[in-house]
A and B are shown apart, each in its own frame.
Chain A
Amino acid sequence: MIALGKLHEFGHGVFGAFWPSVFIVVSTLIKIACIVAPLMLSVAYLTLLERKTIGGMQARLGPNRVGPFGLAQPLADGLKLLFKEIVIPSGADKAVFLAAPIFSIAPALAAWAVIPFDEGIVLADVNAALLYLMAVTSIGVYGVILAGWSSNSRYAFLGGMRSAAQLISYEIAMGLALIVVLMVSNSLSLGEIVKSQARGVFAQAGFSVFSWNWLSLFPVFVVYMVSIVAETNRAPFDMAEGESEIIGFHLEYSGLAFALFYMAEYASMILCATLAAILFLGGWLSPFSCFPNGFHWLFAKVFVILVFFFWIRATFPRYRYDQVMRLGWKVFIPVVLVWMAVVAAWMMSPLSVWK
Chain B
Amino acid sequence: MSRISREEVARIAQLARLSLSEDEADAMAADLDTILGYVQKLQALDTEGVEPTAHVLPMATPFRADEPRPSLPPEAALRNAPESQGSAFVVPPVMDGEDEG
Are A and B genuine complex partners?
A: no
